[in-house]
Amino acid sequence: MEYEAVIGLETHVQLRTHSKMWCACANEFGADPNTRVCPVCLGLPGVLPVANEEALELTVLTGYLLNCAIPGFAKFDRKNYFYPDSAKNYQVTQYDKPSTQGGYVDFEFQGAVARVRITRAHLEEDVGKSTHFDRHSGVDFNRAGVPLLEIVSEPDITSAEMAYEYLNALKDILSYGKISDCDMEKGMVRCDVNVSVRPKGEKALGAKIEIKNMNSFSGVRRALDYEIPRQIGIVSKGGRLTQETRRWDDVAGITEPMRTKEDAHDYRYFPEPDLMPFTPQADWLERVKARVVELPLARKQRYMTSFQLPASDAEVFKNDVPLGDFFSRAAAGASNPKGVANWVINNLRARLAETGATPADVRFAPTHVQELVELVDSGKISSRIAQEVFNEMYASGDAPARIVEQKGLAQVSDTGAIEKFCDEVIAANPKSAEDFRAGKAAALNFLKGQVMKASKGKANPGVVGEILERKLKAS
Ligand code: ADP
Ligand code: MG
Ligand code: ZN
């Protein structure tokens, strides 16, 4: 019998805010332990939380970017549990009335557009971080109270590779929206992986195994590459799986049992009494809507349809937003947008990388790239000279036409001038001329090169070829 995997991901993302969720402490990674704390985020008795409005905006903005509905009524709840990294003994989260509900993420997967539905994205708070030393453990509460978004997917993912691509797409969307810095190394994105298997064609879901707290996307992929065959191995031999939580051991490359999964009622969820429900009004929602940006996939598709770029170029502009924006302005109305893309990707991007500059630092106007392409396409300058013009444009910010004129770089198509160069070159290279007449085609290229050199690269190579051939055959 054939089996298939069913995967749902719960992705935790730290929001990019200045301060924490309920207090004025800095939301900042890397400070000395317990230096970004106050009575509120330490959970001392008698303190009251005040909601961070920017975190609420980023939550709703995420909802829009993930095509979710934004309910008019949301609230916060306490999820009660004991753990040393949570001084309050509860985590504030959104249980039955989250701020966003029912969306989807579209992304490219195996040459098509795949869709994973989003159950919800709800706002909660991060907890402290435990570090275990040889003989003791320490807790750093700098992270406690950092706004955290939990994005829950429907179990629509069917393979390790698809999980990996979904996570990358999600990260791109969150980066585009400036929702989160998504720095995995700083723990800004963490993921719980839920996976079960079932006979192909079966509708009912199998027993869910949850793999906790993965902190890299490649780790998620490797954990699934291990876990799916493990589960299939058990059920295909007639074994039974029961719901449990497992831990991924990144070094050993295996998952191992951690605990049997607790149920929601174990957490004694109840409405947070110290916070008002969240009931966004129309004008507030409009303000958030104004922050909606074009999604990465839409952007890539726009480059392919509006500018007829190949997928590989569109991908570059999807991944490098400032460069893509520069290109959009450079290619607006261009007759040869691919030519413009070539200059932006092959030349400008390399130049910027060399100097650590950004498109904002570029001295020439974006449309100058389009003008440069037109100078080449119309035969006004050769592509070799164009390189020189580009370098000059980059250095001075001058318009290409001006540079060509000032430096006398215009291509010579004037046959009189070229004839003269050709006569000189033929006279100076009788052996090559002889070789050509004897049928050695390569000799023509050599002579052509000599003419180009004599003209300092300004002769029109097509015209040079024609004139040379005519003269050689005639003599
Ligand atoms: P819990 O209440 O245990 O947190 P949820 O129903 O909230 O479980 O689902 C948590 C995540 O697990 C979601 O991403 C969901 O898509 C996924 N999921 C639920 N059931 C299964 C299953 N049988 N197999 C794989 N993933 C599942
Ligand atoms: Mg859950
Ligand atoms: Zn604080």
CA of 7 to the centre of ligand 2 (A): 13
pLDDT at 69: 98
Residues 280 and 425 in one domain: no
- Alpha-carbon gap, residue 374 to 363, rounded angstroms: 20
Gap between the Cα atoms of 104 and 119, Å rounded: 8
Is residue 111 located within the same domain as residue 200?
Answer: yes
Q: How far is the CA of 8 from the centre of ligand 1 (A)?
A: 6
Where is the domain boundary, 407, 438, 456? Answer: 407
**394 token code pair:** 């980059």
Regarding whether 462 and 374 lie in a shared domain, the answer is no
Q: Which of 373, 407, 441 is the last residue of a domain?
A: 407
Domain count, the chain: 3
Listed residue (419, 75, 465) closest to 271, CA to CA:
75
Cα–Cα distance measured from residue 27 to residue 45, given in angstroms and rounded to the nearest whole number: 22
Q: Do residue 242 and residue 300 come from a single domain?
A: no
Q: What is the mean pLDDT of the chain?
A: 93
CATH number of the domain enclosing 456? 1.10.10.410
For the CA of 210, the nearest atom of ligand 1? 12
> Is any ligand 1 atom within 6 A of the Cβ of residue 419?
no
Q: Which residues of 322-341 are buried (b: 16+ CB within 10 A; e: fewer)?
A: ebbebbbebbeebeebebbb
**Edge-to-edge strands of the sheet including 90-93?**
90-93, 77-80, 270-271
Q: Report how far ligand 3's centroid is from the alpha carbon of 300 (Å).
A: 41
Q: Which ligand is nearest to the CA of 10?
A: 1
Ligand 1 atom closest to residue 155's alpha carbon, by position in its atom list: 16
**Cβ of residue 152 lying under 6 Å from some atom of ligand 1:** yes
**264 pLDDT above the threshold of 80:** no
Pocket test for ligand 1, best of 77, 192, 194 (most atoms within 8 A of CB): 194
Are 302 and 284 in the same domain? no
- Range among 4-13, 377-386, 459-468 rated most confident: 4-13
Is the same domain home to 313 and 423?
Answer: no
Per-residue pLDDT for 463 more than 90? no
Backbone dihedral region for residue 229 (phi beyond 0: left; psi -120 to 50: alpha; all else: beta) = alpha
Q: Could you tell me the distance, in angstroms and rounded to a whole number, from the CA of residue 150 to the centre of ligand 2?
A: 9
Q: What percent of the chain has pLDDT over 70?
A: 99
Burial letters for 101-123: b for 16+ Cβ neighbours within 10 Å, e otherwise? Answer: bebebbbbbeeeebebebbbbbb
Ligand 1 within 6 A of CB of 11? no
CA 220 to ligand 1 centroid distance, Å: 16
- C-alpha 331 – ligand 1 centre gap (Å): 46
Phi first, then psi, for residue 287 (nearest 5°) are: -60, -40
244 lines ligand 1 (CB under 6 A): no
Ligand 1 contact, 195 CB (< 6 A):
yes
Ligand nearest to the CA of 210: 1
Å from CA of 85 to ligand 2 middle: 20
Task: Let me know whether 403 and 421 are in one domain.
Answer: no
pLDDT in tens, 41-74: 999 999 999 999 999 999 999 999 999 999 999 9
Confidence check: pLDDT of 465 > 70: yes
Over residues 238-248, mean pLDDT? 92
What is the arithmetic mean of pLDDT over 111-137? 96
Closest atom of ligand 1 to 153 CA is 14
Maximum alpha-carbon separation in the chain: 104
Q: How far is the CA of 224 from the centre of ligand 2 (A)?
A: 19
Check pocket membership of 6 for ligand 1, CB cut-off 6 A. yes
| pTM of the predicted structure, to 2 decimals | 0.86
For the Cβ of 209 lying below 6 angstroms from any atom of ligand 1, the answer is no
* 366 closest CA partner among 406, 337, 402, 405: 337
Residues facing 79 on adjacent strands: 91
- Domain match, 434 and 348 both: no
| Residue 204 predicted with pLDDT over 70 | yes
Contacts 24+ apart (CB under 8 A), 21-26: 21/49, 21/51, 21/52, 21/55, 21/92, 21/123, 21/125, 21/145, 21/146, 21/147, 21/148, 22/49, 22/50, 22/51, 22/52, 22/92, 22/125, 22/145, 23/49, 23/50, 23/145, 25/145
Ligand 1 lined by 196 (C-beta under 6 Å): yes
Do 29 and 104 have their domain in common?
A: yes
* Residue 254 and residue 215 share a domain: yes
Q: Which domain, by its residues, includes 369?
A: 296-407
- pLDDT at 262 exceeding the cut of 70: no
CA distance 68 to 80: 28
The Cα 421–Cα 300 span in angstroms is: 48
Atom of ligand 1 nearest to the CA of 264: 2
154 Cα–ligand 1 center, Å = 7
245 C-beta closer than 6 A to ligand 1:
no
Per-residue tokens: 57 = 């905006």
The per-residue pLDDT for 261 is: 63
pLDDT in tens, 329-373: 999 999 999 999 999 999 999 999 998 999 999 999 999 999 999
CA angle 389, 392, 397 (to 5 degrees): 115
- How far is Cα 21 from Cα 50, in angstroms, rounded to an integer? 8
Query: In the beta sheet, which residues pair with residue 100?
Result: 121
Residue closest via CA to ligand 1's atom 11 equals 8
Q: 407-431 burial string, b = 16+ CB within 10 Å, else e?
A: eebbbbeeeeebbebbeebbeebee
Domain boundary among 289, 304, 321: 289
- Do residue 274 and residue 365 come from a single domain? no
Exposure on the CB side of residue 334, measured as CA atoms within 13 A: 27
- Is there a single domain that holds both residue 154 and residue 270? yes
